[in-house]
Amino acid sequence: MGDQLERFVLENREEFDDEQPSENVWKKIQTSQSTRNSWVGVWKVAAVLFLISTVYLIVERQVDNSGVKQSMGSEFEQVEQYYIQLISEKKAQVAGHTDSNLSREFLLEVERLDQMYAQLKQTYKSQNSSDRVSDLMIKNLQLRIEILNKQVKILNELKETENEASADIEI
């Protein structure tokens, strides 16, 4: 059926080409085209507005996240400074005791934790302030303080027993 129609159109092409459509047909075509073009313009404006709002929201979110990270970083730095100050005070107490061999052994243990802390800090910087690494760093600092407190307690007890022993000898 389709082949017969095509053959008919090809054979009678000249008869189809001489006819002109009326002015009303062309007016309808033009109005439908202008209506379609106006919708295309509306869709273009909508797409541009959507793109601009999306970019704005992404940039705003990035700025907010960097501000949160900076404030968390400064809070972490304050906590870190506090613990480091406590550790240095405890190290001074341990180093100030008369039993230098025992003090040296205790300080060697703390130095090992210091080295682990330095590795954690490098990881922290390379991972852009990871919360998990910062938690591990704080736990390391707390562990060092706990160890130093125990060491100071042991050294104080040793000093008291030496004082009691020397007091017993004097009597």
- Model pLDDT, residue 171: 52
CA distances from 137 to 39, 49, 120, 143, 151 (A): 60, 46, 6, 10, 21
Q: Which residues of the chain have pLDDT under 50?
A: 68
pTM above 0.85, yes or no: no
- Model pLDDT, residue 47: 86
Residues counted in the chain: 171
Phi, psi of 138 (to 5 degrees): -65, -40
- Model pLDDT, residue 70: 53
The amino acid at residue 141 is L
- Model pLDDT, residue 93: 79
- Model pLDDT, residue 129: 65
The C-alpha R_g of the chain, in whole angstroms, comes to: 42
- Model pLDDT, residue 11: 85
- Model pLDDT, residue 73: 59
The amino acid at residue 9 is V
- Model pLDDT, residue 58: 86
- Model pLDDT, residue 79: 83
| E strand map for the chain | none
Long-range pairs, 130-138, Cβ under 8 A, ≥24: 134/76, 137/80, 138/76, 138/79, 138/80, 138/83
Q: What is the pLDDT of residues 86-104, one digit of tens each?
A: 888 887 877 777 666 776 7
